Structure 1
Amino acid sequence: MAPMQDRRVNGPSSTAAVTSNSAPLHVYSFPLLKASEIYSVLRNMHIPVNDPDIRKYEPPLIRKIFEVFIETIMGISKEEMSQPAFSGLRALDFPELHEESIPELTFFRTISKLMGYCGIYDFNFRDLLHPSPKRLRRQLSALINFAKFREERLQTFAGLSKETEDILIMRSKQQDENIKLEAELKELQQEHVAEAPAIEQLRQECQEYEEEINTLNTKQATLRHETGLLRTRTKDLRNEIATYDAQILDAQEEIKRLENQIVTSPDRIKAEISHIASSVEEGREEVMRHDKRQRELLSMRDTFQRTEKDMKKTIQGLLDLETLLNKCKEAKQNVYDLKGEMESNQQKAIEYLSQRKRLEKVLEAKQRDLLSYKEEASIMMQAAESALEAARQELQQVENAQSNAQDRIATNHSKRREIERQCQEKEAKYQRHVLEVAEMFQRLSSAVTYYNQAMMQAMKLSSPTS
C-alpha cells in the first residue's frame, strides 16, 4: 500500500507527511500553522470568527468550527448528528434523559473519528469542554491540513476521472472508426474480386495490343523505306516523261521544217517522202513507245498514290493504337494504385484490430483488479461495521450501566465512581477500535488511489501516440 504523500502548508496550499515510530500505527505528521494563518482559513470557510487569537475561542465557537469541518470533510451536517443514532432508544426506560446526551455523544464520536483521520489520536471530551490553546492550535492545523489535502486529492481524482472518460471516448471512436474501416476494406475486397476478371482481361488486351503495335511498327519502318524508294523512282520517271515530251515536240517541229523544204522534183520528192515516211513511222513508233511508257508511269503513280493513302491510314491506325495503349497503361496503373490503397487500408485495419484487442485486454485486466479491490474494500468495510457495531453494543452496555448507576448514585457514591471508571475503560477500548477502523479505511483509501493511478498510467502507456 502506497503511503500518504508529504504535505506542507504555505498560504492557500498544504502538504501532509507520514512518518512511523515504534508504535504499530502510522503517525501522520503535519505542520503547525500560525494563528493568523488559521484565522485566514477559518474566515475563508465562512466561519464566524472575529479574533485571530486562539486563546479567546470559547467552547461554543470551537464546537461550531468543528461542525463546519465535519460537514466539509465528512459530509455530515449538524442536523444529522442531532438525530438519535440508536434504534433501541425507545426501548429505554427513560429515553428523554438521552435526548441531549445522544447528539453530544454522536458529535464526539464523529469529531474523534475525524481527528483520527487527521492524525490526532488523543482527542477527548476535555478538548470540547475546556480547550487548551496549544492543543486547539494543533487540532485546527491538522483539520486544515487534512481538508486541503482532501481537496487536492479530489481535484486529482476528478482529473483522472476526466482522463478516463476521454480515454473511453477515444476508445469508442477508434472502435467506430475500426468498424468503418473494416466495412470499407470488405467493400474494397469485394470490388477487387468483382473487377479481377475485367482487370485480367484488360491486362491480356494490353499485351495483345503491345504485340500488335510492335508488329505494325516493324511494318511501318519497312513501308517507309519502300515508300522512299518509290518516291525516288516516281521522280525519275517524271523527268523521263518530260524528256520524251520535249523530244516529241522537236520531232514535230522537224516535220514542219522538212515540209517547208519540199521541192517539185519527183524523184527527190519520192525520196524525201520515203525518208519522211520512214521518219514518221519511226516517230510514230517512238511516240507509241513513249505513250506506253507514259501509261506505265501513270499506272505506277496511281499505285504509289494508293500506297501512300494506305500508308497514311496505317499510320493513323498506329496512332489510334498508341492512344488506346496509353489508356490501357493508365487503367493498369490505376489498378496498381487501387491495389496498393487496398493493401494500405488492410494494414491499417489490422493495426486498429490489434490496438483494440490490446486495449480490451488492458481494460479487462483493470476491471478485474477493480472488482478485486472492491471486494476487498467490501470485506474491510464489513469488518469495520462489525467492529463499530460491537463498540456500539459495548457503549450501550456502558450506558445501561450508567443508567443503573444514576439510579443508585444517591445511596452508593463509591459504586458510581467504579462504574465511571469502567465507562472510561470501555470508551478507551472503543477509541482503539475507532483508530483501527480509521487505519483500515486509510489503507483502503490509499490502495484505491494507488490502483487508480496505476490503472491510468497503464492505460496511457497502452494508448496509441501517433
Structure 2
Amino acid sequence: MGAKGTYSLMSIPDIVDSLGVWGLTVEEDRLMRPTPEFVEFVFCACLAQVTGINREDLIEPAQEALTISSIEEKDNIYLPALTHNLLCYHLTRFANAARVDDFSAYDISRPTKDRTLLLLSAFINFVKFTEQLCNPFVNELASRSDALLVERDQISSKLAQVQKRIQELKAKRDKDEPLCQELRAKNKQLGDFVLKTKVEQQAVMQEVDLLKEEKTKLMERKEYIQRELEAASDTNKRIKGRIVQSPERVKRSISTMSVSRVEYKKTVGINEAKTRDLQAKINALVIIEQDLRTCIDQLQVVEKEMKSLQDIQKDLAELKDQLDDKQIERNELRLKQERVAKQLENAHAKLTLAQQRAADKKAANARIIERLQAEYNDMDEERKENDLQLAEIRKEASEVEEKHLKASEEELNSLLKEYWSLKAATNVYMETLATKLNMKMS
C-alpha cells in the first residue's frame, strides 16, 4: 500500500514541527507508537485545516439522520457508529484528494508507525499545498463577493422599482374598479336592451314590409280606379248629349259607381291612416336606429376600455411573474451570499492562521538575525583585535625590514666598492697583458 502522489516521507521532527505550527502539541513517542484515539485526533486536525470539518460538526447531521429513521434506541447505540462512519467518509475523500487511494478505517482503528507517518506526510504536504493557493483564492472570492453585493444592490433597486410600479398599477386598478363595475353593469343593460330592441325591430320590420306590400297593392288599385274613372268620365262626356235609352240601368250603374266610389274613399282613408301610422313607426324606427348607433358607439368604447383593462391585467400578471422570478433570484442570491460569506469567513480564518504562521516565521527569522548579528559583532571585535595585531606585526616587520635594509645597503655598498676596485685592477692587468703581447684592446 502506498500513496499515489509523489510525497516524500517526512521525518518525525518535521511532522511534529508542522503540527506545532497548527497549534497541535504532539510528542514523538506517540508517533512512534500511535493509538487509534491519537491517529483520529491528528487526522481530524488535518481535515479541519482544509475543510473546516471536525467530529463535533458531524454529530448533529448523524442525529438528524437517526431521527428520521425507524430504528429504535438509536440515540444510545447507533449515534457513535454513524458519526464514526461519516468521519471515515470525509477522511477518505480528504485522502483521495491527497492522492492516497487506499485509505480505510483500518488506518484509524489499527494504526501502524509506517502507515501513520506515510499518511501524515501526504496530509501535511496536501495542506501546505492548499495553503500556498489560499491567497489567490481569497482575493478572487473577495472580488466575487463584492461583485455579488453590487449585483444584489442593483437587483434590489430594480425590485423596488418593480414593486413601486405594481403598487401604482394596483392603486390605478382599485381606483378604476368602481368605474369598471359601473361600465360592466351599463354594458349588460345596454346589451339586454339591444337584444330586446333587435327582437322588436325584427317584428316591426316584418310589419313594415307587409304594410309596404299592401300599400303598393292599394296604390296600384288606386291608379287602376283612376284610369277607370277617367275612362268613365270621357265616356260620360261623349254620351252626355245623347238621350238615355235605359235610364234605370244608368241609374243603377251610377248608384253602383257611387257606392264603389264611397268604398274607395273609405279604403283610401284607411290606407292614408295606415300610411301615417307607418310613417310614425318609421320615424320611431329611425330614432331607435339612432339610439342603437349611440349604444353601439358606447359598446365600442366599453370594449376598448375592457380591452385596455385586459391589457393592464395582463401586464399586471406579467409583472407578478417577473416579481416572482425576481424573488426567486433574490432568494438564490441570498443563499449564494450566505455560502460566499461562509467561504469568506473560512478564508479569513485561514488567512489569519497564515498570518499567524508568517508572524511566527518572522519572529524566528528575527531571532536568527539577532543571533547572526551577535555573531557578526563577535567577528567584528575579533577582526578589530586581528587588525591591531596585524598593525603591530606590520610595524615590527617594517622595523626589521628597515634594519635589514640598512645592513644590506651597507654590505651592498662595500661589495660595489670592492667590485669597482677589482674591475679597475682587472682593466689595468688586461692593458698590461695586451701591451706585453702586442694585442689591441677593443
Structure whose alpha-carbon radius of gyration is higher: 2
Aligned-pair CA distance for 1:196: 1.4
One of 241, 255, 278 as aligned partner of 1:304: 278
In structure 2, the residue matched to 1:181 is 162
Kindly report which structure 2 residues correspond to 1:198-347, keeping only aligned pairs within 5 A, or say none: 198-262=179-243, 272=247, 280=254, 282-347=256-321
Q: What is the distance in 1 between the residues matched to 2:300 and 2:158?
A: 38
Is the deviation greater in 330-339 or in 363-372? 363-372
1:47-91 Cα deviation digits (max 9, x unpaired): xxxxxxxxxxxxxxxxxxxxxxxxxxxxxxxxxxxxxxxxxxxxx
Aligned-pair CA distance for 1:302: 2.2
Aligned-pair CA distance for 1:226: 0.9
In structure 2, the residue matched to 1:20 is 7
Kindly report which structure 2 residues correspond to 1:341-356, keeping only aligned pairs within 5 A, or say none: 341-356=315-330
In structure 2, the residue matched to 1:376 is 350
The one-letter amino acid paired with 1:335 is L
Q: What is the distance in 1 between the residues matched to 2:185 and 2:377?
A: 109
CA 1:411 to 1:260, structure 2 compared with 1: closer, same or farther past 3 Å? closer
Aligned-pair CA distance for 1:405: 6.8
Aligned-pair CA distance for 1:283: 4.1
Answer yes or no: is the 8 Å Cα contact 1:206–1:329 preserved in 2. no
Q: What is the distance in 2 between the residues matched to 1:398 and 1:163?
A: 45
CA 1:406 to 1:250, structure 2 compared with 1: closer, same or farther past 3 Å? closer
Answer yes or no: is the 8 Å Cα contact 2:141–2:340 preserved in 1. no
Answer yes or no: is the 8 Å Cα contact 1:251–1:283 preserved in 2. no
The one-letter amino acid paired with 2:231 is D
Aligned-pair CA distance for 1:206: 1.6
Answer yes or no: is the 8 Å Cα contact 1:206–1:328 preserved in 2. yes
1:79-134 Cα deviation digits (max 9, x unpaired): xxxxxxxxxxxxxxxxxxxxxxxxxxxxxxxxxxxxxxxxxxxxxxxxxxxxxxxx
In structure 1, the residue matched to 2:398 is none
CA 1:191 to 1:320, structure 2 compared with 1: closer, same or farther past 3 Å? same
**1:362 and 2:343 equivalent?**
no
Q: What is the distance in 1 between the residues matched to 2:376 and 2:305?
A: 102
In structure 2, the residue matched to 1:425 is none
Aligned-pair CA distance for 1:154: 10
Q: What is the distance in 2 between the residues matched to 1:218 and 1:227?
A: 14
Structure 1 gaps of 5+ residues are: 1-17, 27-151, 413-466
1:133-190 Cα deviation digits (max 9, x unpaired): xxxxxxxxxxxxxxxxxxx999999988776665554443322222211111111111
Q: CA RMSD in A?
A: 3.8
Aligned-pair CA distance for 1:409: 8.5
Answer yes or no: is the 8 Å Cα contact 1:220–1:315 preserved in 2. no
SS of aligned partner of 1:20: coil
Q: What is the distance in 2 between the residues matched to 1:169 and 1:294?
A: 96
Answer yes or no: is the 8 Å Cα contact 2:148–2:337 preserved in 1. no
SS of aligned partner of 1:352: helix
The one-letter amino acid paired with 1:247 is E
Q: What is the distance in 2 between the residues matched to 1:249 and 1:408?
A: 172
Q: What is the distance in 2 between the residues matched to 1:196 and 1:216?
A: 29
SS of aligned partner of 2:282: helix
Structure with the bigger percentage of helix? 2
Answer yes or no: is the 8 Å Cα contact 1:178–1:352 preserved in 2. yes
In structure 2, the residue matched to 1:190 is 171
CA 1:399 to 1:157, structure 2 compared with 1: closer, same or farther past 3 Å? closer
CA 1:167 to 1:275, structure 2 compared with 1: closer, same or farther past 3 Å? same
Q: What is the distance in 1 between the residues matched to 2:138 and 2:363?
A: 31
Answer yes or no: is the 8 Å Cα contact 2:183–2:302 preserved in 1. yes
CA 1:298 to 1:406, structure 2 compared with 1: closer, same or farther past 3 Å? closer
- The alignment-based identity, stated in percent, is 13
Aligned-pair CA distance for 1:323: 3.3
Answer yes or no: is the 8 Å Cα contact 2:159–2:326 preserved in 1. yes
Kindly report which structure 2 residues correspond to 1:101-180, keeping only aligned pairs within 5 A, or say none: 167-180=148-161
Q: What is the distance in 2 between the residues matched to 1:171 and 1:385?
A: 37
Q: What is the distance in 1 between the residues matched to 2:278 and 2:161?
A: 67
Query: Paired residues, what number?
Result: 263
Aligned-pair CA distance for 1:310: 2.3
CA 1:276 to 1:401, structure 2 compared with 1: closer, same or farther past 3 Å? closer
Q: What is the distance in 1 between the residues matched to 2:227 and 2:195?
A: 48
Q: What is the distance in 2 between the residues matched to 1:305 and 1:406?
A: 141
The one-letter amino acid paired with 1:360 is R
Answer yes or no: is the 8 Å Cα contact 2:166–2:319 preserved in 1. yes
The one-letter amino acid paired with 1:337 is D
Answer yes or no: is the 8 Å Cα contact 1:248–1:287 preserved in 2. no
CA 1:208 to 1:334, structure 2 compared with 1: closer, same or farther past 3 Å? same
Aligned-pair CA distance for 1:391: 4.5
Kindly report which structure 2 residues correspond to 1:424-439, keeping only aligned pairs within 5 A, or say none: none
Answer yes or no: is the 8 Å Cα contact 2:162–2:319 preserved in 1. yes
**1:393 and 2:380 equivalent?**
no
Answer yes or no: is the 8 Å Cα contact 2:138–2:344 preserved in 1. no
